[in-house]
Amino acid sequence: MRKGIKKVAVVFVAAIVTVIFFTCDNLDSKEEYSQDGAKKYDKIVFAYATFNALPEEEALQTVEEAVNKITREKIGAEVKLMPIAIADYSSYVNMELQSGSQIDIYQTFGSFNEYVSNNMTYDLTNIMESCAPKTKQLLGEEILSSCKKDEKIFGIPAYKPYGLVPMLIYKREIAEKLNIDMTKIKSVYDLTSVLRKVKKEYPDMEPLVPVMQGTAGANLCIQDVDYLTDDYNSPKGIIMGQDMTVIDYYGTDEFKNTCNLVRTWYKEGLIVKDAATTTSTSRELMSLDKSFCYIACYSSSVYNGLEALEKQCGGEPLGAVQLGEAYLNTVSVNSVTWAVSSTSRIPETALKFLDLTFTDEDIINLLIYGIEGRDYVISQDGYAMYPEGKDAFNVPYTAQLSCGIMGNYFLVYPLTASGKEYLKWEEEQNKTLKKSPALGFTFDSSSVKIEYTAVENVIQQYLPALLCGSVDPQTIIPEFKENLSTAGLDNIIEAKQEQLNEWVAKNNGQVK
């Protein structure tokens, strides 16, 4: 549930002068001291997105110092924590990187390919084994392949439940009052009758709220789609199921049917009217009385984590209904990727710290929860909770909502007593998920960079309104497709097919 980041329009040319006299291990053993005799440490700037309120500087510094007590000893470095509000994250990081300001580690979110193509990411291939061996072993070759270009590693994906399931999150009290059997909802198309019933009882209510700006969430329920390095916010050539033929997403029956469904919701007042443009989050809208549900993608442990979700959505009891199956593709993995900046002067040290976020329980929980006793406490059952009288809105520091995008999710203290069992189950699920036949393929868009920008502009002009029902699909989709073709979508699809064929050939596969 995150916003698509702004695409980088200017090629960022990185000048890196690397003189390799020492391995990473030798760098560890080399101690330097300032003139006053104090030991000198490499200074790492770690920029991370937070969905929670930004902490005050004093609170942040206490967390920073707790992190540094560990990093000074383990990797001979100190870390400057740079939390950034999710809404501002991508634009701020892009601006800082282009200006030459120091950011050593950052998140690429849905634009990993663009960051790599614009030379903004450091090639980690030759330093992974010496600087992040545990993370390399933890993730394995298949997962790391999603962050490769030309067989080189340019990022490390967050280690989390990769199989996100489209789900309906709803207010239980309303469903129970209206005697709605939510277990009968098996797909997004079963939802219309439920929304109508809620609307009839609560005529002033717009029952369905958007998960984020520009989508009612129904498109998240389209099954078995591999966006081939793009994401659901701006598809530009996809494959579906086991067929390796690249097709136009906007020409599929699935897309048309989804737009028609949402149009029905919009015309009947079943969805927030300004869903295409609102900047309010689903959690904020669910805190209001004039809402019933929203659609979003979660790991199936959301059933176990509803209590935490309730606190973020106004405190009302919530329920969850699965609207589809998880599907693992390259974007499922690399949509939340950590990169070392190509301009970093200490890439080896930066990678060592990144390794700690995947392997050191103390580090990741400091980053997520803050200081034990002040920002959170551990119950006798071993799960995290806010101190008495405190919550996510008034503790000095928390980045709890970033637990799925930072380092190793499976090392984060669970919020419920049964969470440990779910964490084990989810980690096993990563190994058994339905997978795209193109898992590991990443598209290099450099040959169609001009077309990509033009097509992106057309998508942003038309897609949000179509996915929120505020325009008529019967007339707008043909116009949309014509403008996409003029902007160069056909060239992008052709380039994707060519690269996909080459990728399949290298992997000894067959192109259908």
Q: pLDDT tens across 114-172, in order?
A: 899 889 999 999 999 999 999 999 999 989 999 998 889 999 999 998 888 899 999 99
- Domain of 130, CATH number, reads 3.40.190.10
- Please, are residues 368 and 144 in contact by the beta-carbon 8 Å criterion? no
Q: Are residues 179 and 307 in the same domain?
A: yes
Q: Are residues 275 and 128 in the same domain?
A: no
In whole angstroms, give the CA distance from residue 163 to residue 405: 14
Asked, for residue 304, whether it belongs to a domain, the answer is yes
What is the model's pLDDT at position 211? 82
Asked, for residue 260, whether it belongs to a domain, the answer is no
When pLDDT is averaged across residues 8-19 and rounded to a whole number, the result is 31
Asked, for residue 261, whether it belongs to a domain, the answer is no
Q: Residue 340's pLDDT band (boundaries 50, 70, 90)?
A: very high
Q: Are residues 299 and 244 in the same domain?
A: no
pLDDT over 90 for what percent of the chain?
Answer: 66
Q: Are residues 351 and 235 in the same domain?
A: no
Q: Are residues 356 and 471 in the same domain?
A: no
Query: Which domain-ending residue is among 287, 305, 327?
Result: 327
Number of domains in the chain: 3
Q: Are residues 380 and 481 in the same domain?
A: no
Q: Provide the residue range defining the domain that includes 208.
A: 165-216+271-327
- DSSP per-residue string spanning 24-38: HHHHHH--EE-TTSP
**Residue among 112, 161, 77 nearest 355 (CA):** 77
Q: Are residues 105 and 203 in the same domain?
A: no
- Please, are residues 351 and 32 in contact by the beta-carbon 8 Å criterion? no
Per-residue pLDDT tens over the stretch 206-220? 999 998 888 999 999
3-state secondary structure of 153: strand
pLDDT over 70 for what percent of the chain?
Answer: 89
| Higher per-residue confidence, 347 vs 446 | 347
Q: In the block, which residue shows the tokens 């010496």?
A: 130
Burial of residue 460 (CB within 10 Å: 0-12, 13-18, 19+) is middle
Query: Which domain-ending residue is among 432, 458, 485?
Result: 432
| Higher per-residue confidence, 425 vs 56 | 56
Q: Are residues 313 and 360 in the same domain?
A: no
When pLDDT is averaged across residues 86-105 and rounded to a whole number, the result is 93
Q: What is the pTM of this model?
A: 0.75
**Beta-strand (E) ranges in 125-255?**
148-149, 152-153, 156-157, 165-171, 225-226, 239-240
Q: Are residues 297 and 342 in the same domain?
A: no
| Higher per-residue confidence, 259 vs 23 | 259
Q: Are residues 39 and 127 in the same domain?
A: yes
In whole angstroms, give the CA distance from residue 455 to residue 445: 12
Query: Which domain-ending residue is among 376, 406, 432?
Result: 432
Tokens of 466: 């179509």
